[in-house]
Amino acid sequence: MNQEIWSCYLESLRNQIKPGFRVYLEGMTCRNMDAAHWEIALPDRSSLAFVESQLGSTMKSVLQSTLKRFEIAGNADITFTLSGSETFMRNGVLPLRTNVVKLNDVSSYEERRASFSTLPASTSAFHYNDDYSEDNDTIDPFETAGELREMSHLNNRYTFDNFIVGGSNECAICAAKAVATKPADAYNPLFIYGGVGLGKTHLIHAIGNELLDTLSLRVRYMTSEEFTNECIQCMSVGPQKMNEFRVKMRDELDVLLLDDIQFIANKERTQEEFFNTFNYLMSNHKQIVLTSDRPPQELRDIDDRMRSRFCINGWFDIQLPDFETRLAIIHSKASVEGIFLPRDVEQYIATKVATNVRELEGCIKRIKNAAAAHGESISLSLAQRLIDPFYQKPQVLLNVEAIISCVCTYFGISRDELMSACRKKEISYPRKVAMYLARTHTSLSLPAIGSAFERDHTTVMSAVRGIKKDLENDSELQLNVKMIEKKLFDR
Ligand code: ADP
Ligand code: MG
């Protein structure tokens, strides 16, 4: 009978919730069912947090209608608990009841956060006593919101709200938001890469802030340099210290945000430690987010096993923002600085400074400070005076099409030939040169260049590698590349 009610309940629920949320139903089990009370278990903390906060009220009303259908009287309530290994968290003796989140108690954010506070303090996990009794009040309360924030090392200035979205970063943002809504699901690990000053650090903090504020998860942000330093320091002190480090990095967090992973290359022991941490977190369904200045397959001196795990599903790049996006960023940053920039000044900066967002911010600050220091109003001439000396040469931003057309003209072949599958040297050689130039003179990622050439990014990668290598000794190739570059830049 109970099985029948449960199946019927799931079926009704399936019709009531968005298709994207149905995945939760598969991991959900009913532990206890009576007329007054159902206990529903979720396989991990992030599902638990999501289900109770997003689906809780629907689940409760579907429960009432299901009970009515089976002519069961009463007003049954639901409690949510964890099932599976996470129930026995950290030291394996977590009393089950402490994971229970009461549906009635979780209507507001404060209460939801408080419901997490019934979880034991991870730091005190090793001092637990085994008492499962209901009135066990020896368990320390879980970290308060303030403590969670402190241990997260997050910068709360970096949020999704103040991150400007444009064509250059929209895929990365979508993925970041997916992770921030439902961690350890679609993209794990999430790998974000891109050039300097383009917003990787901002985005990784935004994910952390969202997870901390909405799901009260234990988030930890660190740069890979910090990871390395801490790891080396603990190693040098001894095994006990190293154990503490492991507990901290593995058991005392739900989400690890590691910025600038490229710095971990070359450091063998740290890499080994990170690889083990990474595997541990992944197998415990904890979210990992990594950033890097290059795509995973271009990370040199990184263990192959690790590189291939980074490439599993979610790697996204952030590119240089286009003119419109730069304008929007300038506008928003100026208002954060509390200044108003006339339209011509905004346009001037967006045209002149096409390197990265950090430099845009620098220019705005420079203008603000100079205007304040001289009591001058902000004008185009003031902006020019301050910015021109730093950006003497107008920056030539090439696009792939310009490169393709220049290469075709230079080698005397048609665009169709260059784009074709022809493997003859007189066609494949210019094609490889064009790919190399696109990689060198645009900020596009390998996949983006690949799609411009209607090819896979691995083809671009091997073409670029090949040309780079040949350039070392092949003087004819050196001359060709130089001549094409001259034509491209002198246009
Ligand atoms: P990265 O880590 O890629 O080197 P950061 O995240 O440190 O870059 O970004 C540099 C600065 O530019 C930060 O102050 C960040 O807030 C800002 N920034 C970058 N991209 C954006 C964007 N799309 N919208 C708003 N601010 C941005
Ligand atoms: Mg950064």
Give the model's pLDDT for residue 475.
Answer: 87
Pick from 357, 360, 363 the residue to mutate for probing ligand 1's pocket: most ligand atoms within 8 Å of its CB: 357
Number of neighbours of residue 339 by Cβ within 10 angstroms? 16
257 lines ligand 1 (CB under 6 A): no
Instruction: Give the separation between CA 334 and CA 331, rounded to whole angstroms.
Output: 5
Q: Is 44 in the pocket of ligand 1 (CB under 6 A)?
A: no
> 325: CA distance to ligand 2 center in Å?
19
Residue 164 CB–ligand 1 contact under 6 Å: yes
* CA–CA distance, 271 with 299 (Å, rounded to integer): 13
Asked if residue 218 has its Cβ within 6 Å of ligand 1, the reply is: no
Three-state SS annotation for the chain: CHHHHHHHHHHHHHHHCCHHHCHHHHCCEEEEEECCEEEEEECCHHHHHHHHHHHHHHHHHHHHHHHHHCCCCCCCEEEEEECCHHHHCCCCCCCHHHHCEEHHHCCCHHHHHHHHCCCCCHHHHHHCCCCCCCCCCCCCCCCCHHHHHHHHCCCCCCCCCCCCCCCCCHHHHHHHHHHHHCCCCCCCCEEEEECCCCCHHHHHHHHHHHHHHHHCCCEEEEEHHHHHHHHHHHHHHCHHHHHHHHHHHHHCCCEEEEECHHHHCCCHHHHHHHHHHHHHHHHCCCEEEEEECCCHHHCCCCCHHHHHHHCCCEEEEECCCCHHHHHHHHHHHHHHHCCCCCHHHHHHHHHHCCCCHHHHHHHHHHHHHHHHHHCCCCCHHHHHHHHHHHCCCCCCCCCHHHHHHHHHHHHCCCHHHHHCCCCCHHHHHHHHHHHHHHHHHCCCCHHHHHHHCCCCHHHHHHHHHHHHHHHCCCHHHHHHHHHHHHHHHCC
Q: Is 362 in the pocket of ligand 1 (CB under 6 A)?
A: no
Q: Compute the Cα dihedral for 229, 235, 241, 245 and give only its sign.
A: positive
Residue 288 Cβ < 6 Å to ligand 1: no
* The ligand 1 atom nearest the CA atom of 205: 6
How confident is the model at residue 142, as a pLDDT? 46
pLDDT in tens, the chain (491 residues): 788 888 888 888 888 877 656 667 777 888 888 878 898 988 766 567 677 777 888 888 899 888 888 888 878 889 888 775 443 332 222 222 222 222 233 333 344 334 333 333 332 222 222 333 333 333 333 447 788 899 999 999 999 999 999 888 988 998 999 999 999 888 899 999 998 899 999 999 999 999 999 988 999 999 999 999 999 999 999 999 999 999 999 989 999 999 999 888 778 888 899 999 999 999 999 999 999 988 887 787 788 888 888 776 678 889 889 888 999 999 999 999 999 999 999 999 998 888 889 999 999 999 999 999 888 899 999 999 999 888 765 455 578 888 999 999 999 999 999 999 999 999 999 999 999 999 888 878 888 898 889 899 999 999 999 999 999 888 889 889 988 988 887 65
pLDDT, residue 23, reads 66
Query: Which protein residue's CA is at the shortest distance from atom 19 of ligand 1?
Result: 199
Nearest-atom number in ligand 1 for the CA of 259 is 2
From CA 237, how far away is CA 283, in angstroms rounded?
28
Q: Please give the distance, rounded to the nearest whole angstrom, from the Cα atom of residue 197 to the centre of ligand 1.
A: 5
Atom of ligand 1 nearest to the CA of 332: 25
Q: Which ligand is nearest to the CA of 318?
A: 1
198 Cβ closer than 6 Å to some ligand 1 atom: yes
Q: Which atom of ligand 1 is nearest to the CA of 169?
A: 23
